[in-house]
A and B are shown apart, each in its own frame.
Chain A
């Protein structure tokens, strides 16, 4: 029983087509990141805790207005509703949902409180799936760092901690957006999941629910999801490519 929750057990479950029984916590920055991560796979996660760090709306009112909302709260509420629809479309049934309601773009500014709360919320988990540390979005990198720190705290106080995995998101390389791929990392083999037609339909339907984010989501191909065991990042260095 222990094997499934440690090391690469989750990757093996992801690579298969059956239900995923490992207690997984998915920690993402924004409402849509979970769909980018696992829109086709999330339905198989039977013991999923889904944690959104932000409420999806930046403090800068102009950004909410650019999306057609008069207030930050209205934009945030719209993103929450999009998320609800997307989770339904993806047939996701998380057993636990949390939103820390940090403003979009402000994860680093609330870092300590997020780490503290994550440490508590990740205790029940056997595995965590989160963003890679790759310079794609400041919140993604801060989120990855917070998860790794929280897990380190748990390891320290409990003598065990959930294993950290990550999903392919996006990063910039030579000014080009690389979406749905990992920044190559030696020693972190990937699992590439070619979605079945049913899973593909779910992911596609979930993507369509994020009307306010359609521009960003257009970068992603729909038929593949990638996961890997998180590398042991050195967060004192900036994310790639500058750390190289």
Chain B
């Protein structure tokens, strides 16, 4: 069933709390109490949180978030029926509040009550055009889930995992080192939510789920570049097509694994479900038997780190190139391991992690890049990979969506390219993902 934090992260449509309360004098107290309950709930003090939420409901029955937040708590506790009742109460108390509608719909989806979810969306009375759009996005999501239920998705990944070309953690290093040794081109590309949003299945499919696909693409663009204006930009559309070519030419492709997919369904992730499923659908069209190339988990970067792959790689007498937003990481690797890091190509941070001070007088610990990743830096990086003046043998690429295209370009130029993603953040001492919380485990 949906969990509060992930579900509420999906849309930033704001809580217009004050507008939902009958008397202005009640607002402050209701919000204070609700926030206190949320804080307790987030810290795991469920009983105390429940007491507070019930208090809010009793004092302010028209305050929809009292019902909603208690519903979230019940869902967290696994009390799905109670949660459903509470979400329903919130949504019916204020049919124009999209937050309440969203919680109810996601919960119904998680329970497999797709017709009920559709009905909830039908009953919603959008207060703004933006909310109307969101209702349509959620309708698409319900349709998508109906066509691709969890078990179907799990069956799809299972076929790849059992087809004989799916590498276990202990098998992943071998083909990479073999390519390095034989000076053969090689690329490892990992596919995640963002990439899944940009892999097109067919024009018919794009039309069928147009609104949710557009919504997810915009979301990924905002995460990567801080703007969604590239969505219809012809040059970016062209770049996104190159993603498909990059995956086609890859020697090893990291896929979302069963547990991950199940988790996306469990939280009714608006982005995660269609993206994971579409990665698998896209692959099924091109490699239905799952034997066309090697596959592995999308967490391959983490696996390689834990298996000591990078320490072995760094001790080899070969030229390494790095593409990342961490300007000093190449120096640190070279200094720590004596590695021949012969080229560094710096890209801007993902928009969400940028810390650039506009005065530029106190920039510390940032890439210092002044231009956006796309298209200027992107074109420059591609040129440098193709020219390869320092004869880089292995490229370590941590560049998000565009990084997959860099991997393909490096492979085309005869090098080995490894899409190592956020593991490099850990090396740089930056906690950018939950798995990096124990950052000391990732220090070089």
Contacts and interface: CB of A to CB of B under 8 A. Distances in A.
Interface of A: 1-2, 5, 47, 49, 55, 76-77, 80-81, 83-84, 93-99, 101, 117, 119-121, 123-124, 126, 157-160
A226 B346 CA distance: 29
Given A96-B368, A121-B327, A124-B344, A160 B380 contact: no
B199 interface: no
21 contacts: A2-B389, A2-B390, A76-B361, A80-B360, A80-B361, A94-B370, A95-B369, A95-B380, A96-B367, A96-B369, A97-B368, A98-B368, A119-B331, A120-B330, A120-B331, A120-B332, A124-B327, A157-B334, A157-B338, A158-B341, A159-B342
A81 B361 CA distance: 10
Contacts of B338: 157
Contacts of A5: 389
A184 B346 CA distance: 37
Interface in B359-388: 359-364, 367-371, 376-377, 380, 387
A124 B381 CA distance: 12
Contacts of B332: 120
A221 B346 CA distance: 36
A158 B389 CA distance: 14
A95 B371 contact: yes
A157 B361 contact: no
Nearest to B384: A23
A160 B321 CA distance: 13
Contacts of B335: 157
A99 B356 CA distance: 11
A126 B367 CA distance: 18
B221 interface: no
Given A55-B361, A101-B364, A159-B340, A96 B346 contact: yes
A99 B344 contact: no
Contacts of B341: 123, 157-158
A78 B367 CA distance: 24
Given A1-B389, A96-B346, A158-B342, 9 more contacts: A76-B361, A93-B371, A95-B376, A101-B361, A101-B363, A120-B330, A121-B327, A121-B328, A123-B341
Interface of B: 327-328, 330-332, 334-335, 338, 340-346, 359-364, 367-371, 376-377, 380, 387, 389-390
A99 B370 CA distance: 13
Contacts of B359: 77, 80-81
A158 B362 contact: no
Contacts of A47: 380
A214 B366 CA distance: 32
A121 B331 CA distance: 8
Contacts of B389: 1-2, 5, 126
B327 to A, nearest CB: 6
B361 A77 contact: yes
Contact of B327 (A2, A77, A95, A120): A120
A160 B390 contact: yes
Nearest to A150: B331
A124 B342 contact: no
A230 to B, nearest CB: 21
Contact of B343 (A99, A117, A124): A124
Nearest to B335: A157
A95 B330 contact: no
A69 to B, nearest CB: 14
Given A55-B361, A95-B371, A124 B390 contact: no
Contacts of B376: 95
Contacts of B363: 97-99, 101
B380 A123 contact: no
A5 B376 CA distance: 21
| Most chain A CB within a 10 A radius of its CB, from B338, B377, B389 | B389
Which 6 residue pairs across A and B have the least CB separation, nearest first? A120-B328, A120-B331, A124-B344, A98-B368, A80-B361, A1-B389
Contacts of B380: 47, 95
A83 B364 CA distance: 18
A117 B364 CA distance: 10
B390 A97 contact: no
A158 B377 CA distance: 24
A96 B325 CA distance: 11
Contacts of A98: 363, 368
Contacts of B334: 157-158
Contacts of A120: 327-328, 330-332
Given A101-B364, A159-B342, A95 B377 contact: yes
B382 to A, nearest CB: 13
B136 to A, nearest CB: 41
A160 B327 CA distance: 17
A123 B370 contact: no
Contacts of A95: 369-371, 376-377, 380
Nearest to B343: A124
B330 A1 contact: no
A52 B311 CA distance: 34
Nearest to B357: A99
Given A47-B380, A95-B371, A123 B331 contact: yes
Contacts of A157: 331, 334-335, 338, 341
A76 B332 CA distance: 31
A55 B367 CA distance: 18
B379 to A, nearest CB: 11
A107 to B, nearest CB: 16
Given A158-B340, A159-B340, A99 B331 contact: no
Nearest to A47: B380
A97 B343 contact: no
* Max chain B Cβ within 10 angstroms of own Cβ: one of A47, A49, A84, A98: A98
Contacts of B364: 101
Contacts of B342: 158-160
Contacts of B370: 93-97
Contacts of B345: 124
